Amino acid sequence: MGGEQQNDRLEREVEQQLGLAFQHLPMRSMELTHGRYTLDNLLQHADYQLLAWKDLEHGLHSWARLFTLLASGIIISIRPHGSGMVMRLESDSPLPLWLLHMLRAVDLRLQRFAATLPSSEQHPWHWDWVLRNCWQEAQGLGITRCERGVHNQLVICHQLKLQAYPDVLPRVPNLLDYYRRQLLKDPGPSLNLVERCKRLMSRALPSVLQVDSLASELGISGRSLQRQLKLAGVSYSSLLTEVRQSQARAKLADTNISVRRLALELGFSEPSNFIRAFRQFEGCSPSDYRQQVKQHQVAPDHLPIRFLYAENLLQTDWRNSRRGARVWMEVRNITFTKDVSVMCEDLDGIWRGYPASFERWLGPGRELWSSVNISVFDPLRFRLQFRSGNRLYIDDNDGSGYTVSATQRYLLGDHELAVLSLELFTLADGQQLLTGRALTPRYGDDELHLVVSSHDWISGHTQRADTFPLEASDAIGWQFTLSLPTGAAPWVRFEHHSQLGVEVDDNAGEGYRPRNC
């Protein structure tokens, strides 16, 4: 059989494996930045990535990066192996059949990569298959198990990893046409200029987009932007004020964020400037507005899900398997049956859902939920999703989403304080130790005090109260271990002391009750 016929046969076999992989996928499409994309095209794109780079080493990295998104619960890592390389697949569950078909397609591609190697090169690659719990499925693909293997892995020699794909890349016209159509696809009703300006301004806060920067984001000149805004009956300054007003009202109504922090988030250099501006457009101070909301003189809109905090331990090197991030949120108990998840965006623009589960009660009707360990790419970009029946609620930070990097490590929501842990240990002599971790930003000489009251949960009576100044472990974290006298179960609240006064966080009047250990 001639070389051209062999290449045609190989292309047909690869296409067959890609088609079988698509048939066995549990879903047919995936949400991307501009809509939902069919996964058969994404599988072809992965095959293209394997071949398009200058050598096999870079192509395999790109292939594995894409499949880390699709293969939830499977860690695909690539690392040096002598002078060659090894791609390892680690999973606590059986490898899915669709992934086995994709690996079979990779094996076919490796035959062409190795075609240009000297004939003296023996076994330029090999597979070590353990295939726990999926051996019957693998047998049908011609995969041979390695009895001594510990990991499912592909081992590639030094010469092969440096090879470029020798043939013209397959399906390039089809792929280019597909992505051209996706780029030209109407993303939905277009926003008018004023709304686009307001959305860009909102996303940029606490930075304030100047006229020229805003115009650059819109693809027009600063003079043209000012002229079009004038025709719309608005000005740049009025739009900025409107954006700040909207965010100030929402966050004062729906969160416990401090006035100082809110001023900084809205781009004001000093809290006094924000308070003065708020009085001008609302007729009262921010504190008075918040009090009116609590007295139901103003009716804010409430989502049944609210972001509390996130921890990012992701590694910048995606090949490192020891990585992860978690997100915590407050969920209103508006219905018994609910589906809560964290949608995360990866560098490829693909959004993947990670389930969240109930952790503990925060108070009447208020539950603390947390996500599973999330293994995507740094920085972590996410939004929260709450589904009950045919109702869907999304907390996406007013359209901006949430972002936290590994160097930043922690991200706090609008709530000024996040209690990560609070535990009470009772020693043999009856002495009690209270330990915990909390997150709250520190500005200058700010102090965080822990107030522990002796509380009888049956009668509801609170007796003595002891105050303990806490020491910060870093710019946002606080850790403590306190010795408490024997007595009734402690009732805890936090006090944040700053130049603006004292702000008390008592868990909406419920207090924080430590977990007995």
Q: Which residue has better confidence, 88 or 391? A: 88
Q: Give yes or no for residue 296 having a pLDDT over 50.
A: no
Q: What is the pLDDT of residue 300?
A: 37
Picking from 161, 64, 118, 119, the residue whose alpha carbon sits closest to that of residue 377 is 64
Confidence of residue 144 (pLDDT cuts 50, 70, 90): low
pLDDT tops 50 at residue 299: no
Angstrom distance (rounded) from CA 83 to CA 158 = 5
Residue 334 has pLDDT above 80, yes or no: no
Per-residue pLDDT at 460 exceeds 70: no
Contact 486, 430 (CB under 8 A): yes
Check residues 488 and 201 and name the one with the higher pLDDT.
201
Q: Would you place residue 221 in the very low, low, confident or very high pLDDT band (cuts 50, 70, 90)?
A: confident
Give the pair of three-digit tokens for residue 99.
Answer: 């992934």
| Mean pLDDT along residues 314-324 | 52
Range with the largest mean pLDDT of 147-151, 205-209, 334-338, 346-350: 205-209
Q: CB neighbours (10 Å) of residue 117? A: 14
Beta 418-426 vs 515-516: how paired, if at all? parallel
160 vs 134, higher pLDDT: 160
Look at 91 and 196; give whichever has higher pLDDT: 196
pLDDT of 414 strictly over 80: no
Portion of the chain with pLDDT greater than 70, in percent: 74
DSSP label at 115?
G
Q: What is the mean pLDDT of residues 358-366?
A: 76
pLDDT of residue 69: 61
List Cα–Cα distances, 375 to 217, 346, 394, 395, 490, in angstroms: 32, 10, 21, 21, 37
Q: Which of 18-27, 201-210, 464-473 is the least confident region? A: 464-473
How many C-beta atoms lie closer than 10 Å to residue 166's C-beta?
Answer: 12
Q: Which residue has the higher pLDDT, 217 or 321?
A: 217
Band (pLDDT 50/70/90 cuts) for residue 120 is low
Element (H, E) at 217: helix 211-218
The per-residue DSSP string of 45-71 comes to: HHHHHHHHSSSHHHHHHHHHHHHHHHS
What one-letter code names the amino acid at 455? Answer: H
Evaluate if residue 137 carries a pLDDT over 60. Answer: no
Distance (Å, rounded) from C-alpha 320 to C-alpha 234? 51
pLDDT at 327 over 90: yes
The token pair at 20 is 């079988």
In this predicted structure, what is the pLDDT of residue 3? 63
| Side chain identity at residue 50, one-letter code | L
Residue the block writes with tokens 């929260």: 384
Question: In the structure, what pLDDT confidence band is assigned to residue 189 with cuts at 50, 70 and 90?
Answer: very low
pLDDT at 342: 92
Domains present along the chain, CATH in parentheses: 3-184 (no CATH), 193-294 (1.10.10.60), 305-412 (2.60.40.2440), 418-516 (2.60.40.2440)
Q: What is the pLDDT of residues 8-67, one digit of tens each?
A: 788 888 888 888 888 888 776 665 544 456 777 778 878 888 887 788 888 888 788 777
Q: Whose structure tokens read 């499925």?
A: 137
Between 232 and 19, the more confident residue is 19
User: Tens of pLDDT along 349-358?
Assistant: 677 888 888 8
Residue 384: its pLDDT value, please? 92
Classify residue 370 as exposed, middle or buried by CB count within 10 Å of its CB (0-12, 13-18, 19+).
buried
Least confident residue range of 76-80, 248-252, 378-382, 454-458: 454-458
Question: Residue 19, SS3?
Answer: helix
Among 37-41, 107-111, 282-286, 393-397, whose mean pLDDT is lowest? 37-41
State percent of the chain over pLDDT 90: 2
Residue that wins the pLDDT comparison between 457 and 365: 365
The Cα–Cα gap between 87 and 154 comes to 5
464 phi and psi angles, rounded to 5 deg = -75, 155
> What whole-number distance in Å separates Cα of residue 269 and Cα of residue 267?
6
Mean residue pLDDT across the chain: 76
Q: Which residue has the higher pLDDT, 96 or 145?
A: 96
pLDDT band at 382 (very low <50, low <70, confident <90, very high): very high
Note the pLDDT of residue 175: 55
The confidence score (pLDDT) of residue 140 equals 54
Residue with the bigger pLDDT between 465 and 495: it is: 495
Residue 264 predicted with pLDDT over 80: yes
CB–CB of 256/300 below 8 Å?
no
